[in-house]
Amino acid sequence: MTIQTPNGFTLDTSGKRIVVDPVTRIEGHMRCEVNVDSENIIRNAVSTGTMWRGLEVILKGRDPRDAWAFTQRICGVCTGTHALTSVRCVEDALGIKIPENANSIRNIMQLCLQVHDHLVHFYHLHALDWVNPVSALKADPKATSELQQKVSPAHPKSSPGYFRDVQNRLKRFVESGQLGPFKNGYWDNPAYLLPPEANLMATTHYLEALDFQTTIMRIRTIFGGKDPHPNWLVGGVPCAINVDGVGAVGAINMERLNMVRSIIDQSIRFVEDVYIPDLLAVASFYKGWLYGGGLSSKNVLSYGDIPDNANDYSAANLLSPRGAIINGNLKEVHDVDLRNPEEIQEFVPHSWYKYADEKKGLHPWDGVTQPAYGLGPNAKGSKTNIVEIDESAKYSWIKAPRWKGNAMEVGPLARYIVGYAQGNKEITEQINFVLKTLDVPVTALFSTLGRTAARGLECQWAAHKMSYFLDKLIATIKAGDSSTANVDNWDPSTWPKEAKGVGFTEAPRGALAHWIRIKDTKIENYQCVVPTTWNGSPRDNEGNIGAFEASLMNTKMERPEEPVEILRTLHSFDPCLACSTHVMSEDGEELTRIKVR
Amino acid sequence: MTEIETFYDVLRRQGISRRSFLKFCSLTAASLGLAPELAPQMAYALETKPRTPVLWLHGLECTCCSEAFIRSAHPLASDVILSMISLDYDDTIMAAAGHQAEAIVDEIVEKYKGNYILACEGNPPLNEDGMYCIIGGKPYLDQLKKAASNCKAIISWGSCASWGCVQAARPNPTQAVPIHKVIRDKPIIKVPGCPPIPEVMTAVITYIATFEKLPELDRQGRPKMFYSQRIHDKCYRRPHFDAGQFVEAWDDDSARKGYCLYKMGCKGPTTYNACSTTRWNGGVSFPIQSGHGCIGCSEDGFWDNGGFYNRLTNIHQFGIEANADDIGKTAAGVVGAAVAAHAAVSALKRARDKGGNA
This prediction's pTM = 0.91
Q: Which range marks the domain in which residue A560 is found?
A: 1-64+298-369+395-443+513-597
pLDDT higher than threshold 70 for residue B357: no
- A501-533 pLDDT, tens per residue? 999 999 999 999 999 999 999 999 999 999 999
- CA of B119: how far to CAs of A58, A407, A536, B205, in Å? 27, 38, 28, 10
Residue of A51, A522, A595 for testing the chain B interface, max B β-carbons within 10 Å = A51
pLDDT higher than threshold 70 for residue B43: no
Band of pLDDT at residue B5, cut at 50, 70 and 90: low
Of A183, A250, A567, the CB nearest to B88: A183
Q: Does B287 contact A225 at a Cβ distance shorter than 8 Å?
A: yes
CA nearest to A184 within chain B: B96
Residue type present at position B235: C
Of B96, B175, B281, the CB nearest to A184: B96
Residue of B72, B105, B256, B278 for testing the chain A interface, max A β-carbons within 10 Å = B256
Of A217, A237, A247, the CB nearest to B257: A247
CA nearest to A243 within chain B: B256
Partners of B193 on chain A (C-beta within 8 Å) are: none
Burial A170-186 (b: 16+ CB within 10 A, else e): bebbbebebbbbbbbbb
Q: Does A224 contact B292 at a Cβ distance shorter than 8 Å?
A: yes
- B186-207 pLDDT, tens per residue? 999 999 999 999 999 999 999 9
What ipTM was predicted for this assembly?
0.94
Q: Are residues A248 and A359 in the same domain?
A: no
Structural domain includes residue A384: no
Band of pLDDT at residue B346, cut at 50, 70 and 90: very low
Compute the nearest-CA separation of B334 from chain A (Å): 24
Compute the nearest-CA separation of B321 from chain A (Å): 27
pLDDT higher than threshold 80 for residue B259: yes
Partners of A245 on chain B (C-beta within 8 Å) are: 256-257
pLDDT attached to residue A364: 94
**Prior bond to A349 cis, omega within 30?**
no
CA nearest to A232 within chain B: B292
Q: Does A493 contact B134 at a Cβ distance shorter than 8 Å?
A: no
CA nearest to B76 within chain A: A211
pLDDT attached to residue A581: 59
Partners of A27 on chain B (C-beta within 8 Å) are: 62-63, 92
pLDDT attached to residue A594: 31
Question: Are B227 and B99 within 8 A, CB to CB?
Answer: no
Compute the nearest-CA separation of B250 from chain A (Å): 6
pLDDT attached to residue A308: 98
- A363-388 pLDDT, tens per residue? 999 988 788 999 999 999 999 999 99
Compute the nearest-CA separation of A425 from chain B (Å): 34
**Cβ pairs bridging A and B (under 8 Å):** 359
Residue of A71, A176, A528 for testing the chain B interface, max B β-carbons within 10 Å = A176
Contacts 24+ apart (CB under 8 A), A37-42: A37/A12, A39/A556, A40/A556, A40/A557, A40/A558, A40/A559, A40/A560, A41/A554, A41/A555, A41/A556, A41/A557, A42/A552, A42/A553, A42/A554, A42/A555, A42/A556, A42/A557, A42/A566
- A302-333 pLDDT, tens per residue? 999 999 999 999 999 999 999 999 999 999 99
Q: Does B307 contact A29 at a Cβ distance shorter than 8 Å?
A: no
Structural domain includes residue A84: no
pLDDT higher than threshold 60 for residue A69: yes
What phi and psi, each to the nearest 5 degrees, are found at residue A272?
Answer: -80, -30
Q: Which fold has domain B231-353?
A: Cytochrome-c3 Hydrogenase; Chain A, domain 2 (4.10.480)
CATH 3.40.50.700 in chain B is located at 51-227
**How many CB atoms sit inside 10 A of residue A17's CB?**
16
Of B136, B255, B280, the CB nearest to A22: B136
Q: Which residues, at least 6 apart from A425, have a Cβ–Cβ distance to it below 8 Å?
A: none
Q: Which fold has domain B51-227?
A: Rossmann fold (3.40.50)
Q: What is the pLDDT averaged over residues B48-74? A: 92
- Percent of chain A clearing pLDDT 70 (strictly above): 97
Band of pLDDT at residue B20, cut at 50, 70 and 90: low
Q: Are residues A332 and A238 in the same domain?
A: no
Partners of A128 on chain B (C-beta within 8 Å) are: 95
Q: Are residues A523 and A434 in the same domain?
A: yes
CA nearest to A259 within chain B: B284
Of A177, A240, A371, the CB nearest to B3: A177
CA nearest to B4 within chain A: A176
Compute the nearest-CA separation of A410 from chain B (Å): 21
Q: For residues A280 and A434, give the distance between their C-alpha atoms in angstroms, rounded to a whole number.
A: 8
| Helix and strand counts by DSSP (H, E) for chain A | 17, 16
- A423-473 pLDDT, tens per residue? 999 999 999 999 999 999 999 999 999 999 999 999 999 999 999 999 999
CA nearest to B71 within chain A: A214
Q: For residues A476 and B154, give the distance between their C-alpha atoms in angstroms, rounded to a whole number.
A: 51
Structural domain includes residue A385: no
Partners of A592 on chain B (C-beta within 8 Å) are: 171
Q: State CA A81 to chain mean position distance.
A: 10
Q: Are residues A468 and A554 in the same domain?
A: no
Three-class secondary structure assignment of A207-274: HHHHHHHHHHCHHHHHHHCCCCCCCCECCECCCCECCCCCCHHHCECHHHHHHHHHHHHHHHHHHHHH
Q: For residues A353 and A400, give the distance between their C-alpha atoms in angstroms, rounded to a whole number.
A: 11
Compute the nearest-CA separation of B85 from chain A (Å): 8
CA nearest to A19 within chain B: B98
pLDDT higher than threshold 50 for residue A397: yes
Q: Are residues A362 and A432 in the same domain?
A: yes
Of B130, B174, B290, the CB nearest to A238: B290
Q: Does A66 contact B309 at a Cβ distance shorter than 8 Å?
A: yes
Q: For residues A502 and A474, give the distance between their C-alpha atoms in angstroms, rounded to a whole number.
A: 30
Q: Are residues A16 and A52 in the same domain?
A: yes
Structural domain includes residue A337: yes
Q: Does B281 contact A236 at a Cβ distance shorter than 8 Å?
A: no
Q: State CA A1 to chain mean position distance.
A: 34
- A176-212 pLDDT, tens per residue? 889 999 999 999 999 999 999 999 999 999 999 999 9
Q: How many domains does chain A have?
A: 2
pLDDT attached to residue A182: 94
Q: For residues A263 and B154, give the distance between their C-alpha atoms in angstroms, rounded to a whole number.
A: 36
pLDDT higher than threshold 60 for residue A170: yes
Q: Are residues A565 and A520 in the same domain?
A: yes
pLDDT higher than threshold 90 for residue A247: no
pLDDT attached to residue A591: 37
Strands B188-191 and B153-157: parallel
| Three-state secondary structure call for residue A391 | coil
pLDDT attached to residue B12: 59
Of B78, B95, B280, the CB nearest to A227: B280
Compute the nearest-CA separation of B97 from chain A (Å): 5
CA nearest to B250 within chain A: A485
CATH 4.10.480.10 in chain B is located at 231-353
CA nearest to B264 within chain A: A238
Nearest to B63 by CA among A509, A351, A203: A509
pLDDT attached to residue B13: 54
Q: Does B60 contact A74 at a Cβ distance shorter than 8 Å?
A: no
Q: What is the pLDDT averaged over residues A150-160? A: 96
**How many CB atoms sit inside 10 A of residue A351's CB?**
28
Burial of A259 (0-12, 13-18, 19+ CB in 10 A): middle
What phi and psi, each to the nearest 5 degrees, are found at residue B135?
Answer: -125, 125
Q: Does A183 contact B104 at a Cβ distance shorter than 8 Å?
A: yes
Q: Are residues A161 and A279 in the same domain?
A: yes
DSSP state of A41: B
Band of pLDDT at residue B338, cut at 50, 70 and 90: very low
Partners of B104 on chain A (C-beta within 8 Å) are: 183-184
Of B82, B95, B292, the CB nearest to A173: B82
Q: Are residues A258 and A285 in the same domain?
A: yes
Of A228, A233, A373, the CB nearest to B67: A228
Structural domain includes residue A377: no
Q: Which residues, at least 6 apart from B195, have a Cβ–Cβ distance to it below 8 Å?
A: A76, A228, A229, B64, B65, B67, B68, B157, B158, B201
Q: Does B308 contact A124 at a Cβ distance shorter than 8 Å?
A: no
pLDDT attached to residue B33: 58
Q: What is the pLDDT averaged over residues B117-146? A: 97
Q: At what angle do helices A254-270 and A448-478 cross, to 10 degrees?
A: 160
Residue A300's H or E segment, with its range, is strand A300-302
pLDDT attached to residue A595: 34
Q: What is the pLDDT averaged over residues A260-277? A: 98
pLDDT attached to residue B324: 35
Q: Are residues A266 and A309 in the same domain?
A: no
Of B13, B92, B256, the CB nearest to A247: B256
Q: Are residues A58 and A153 in the same domain?
A: no
Partners of A51 on chain B (C-beta within 8 Å) are: 60, 132-134
- A105-145 pLDDT, tens per residue? 999 999 999 999 999 999 999 999 999 999 999 999 999 99
The radius of gyration of chain B's CA atoms, rounded to the nearest angstrom, is: 23
Three-class secondary structure assignment of chain B: CCCCCEHHHHHHHCCCCHHHHHHHHHHHHHHCCCCHHHHHHHHHHHHHCECEEEEEEECECCCHHHHHHHCCCCCCHHHHHHHHEEEEEECCCCCCCHHHHHHHHHHHHHHCCCCCEEEEECECECHHHHCCEEECCEEHHHHHHHHHCCCCEEEEEHHHHHCCCHHHCCCCCCCECCHHHCCCCCCEEEECCCCCCHHHHHHHHHHHHHHCCCCCECCCCCEHHHHCCEHHHHCCCHHHHHCCCECCCCCCHHHHCCCECHHHCCCHHHCECCHHHHCECCCCECCCCCCCCCCCCCCCCHHHCCCCCCCCCCHHHHCCCHHHHHCCCCCHHHHHHHHHHHHHHHHHHHHHHCCCCC
Q: Are residues A154 and A302 in the same domain?
A: no
Question: Are A569 and A45 within 8 A, CB to CB?
Answer: no
pLDDT higher than threshold 70 for residue B60: yes
Of A63, A222, A259, the CB nearest to B307: A63
Q: Does A165 contact B15 at a Cβ distance shorter than 8 Å?
A: yes
Q: What is the pLDDT averaged over residues A338-354? A: 97
Indicate which CATH number applies to the domain containing A471.
1.10.645.10
Partners of A19 on chain B (C-beta within 8 Å) are: 98, 137
Residue of A73, A100, A255, A260 for testing the chain B interface, max B β-carbons within 10 Å = A73
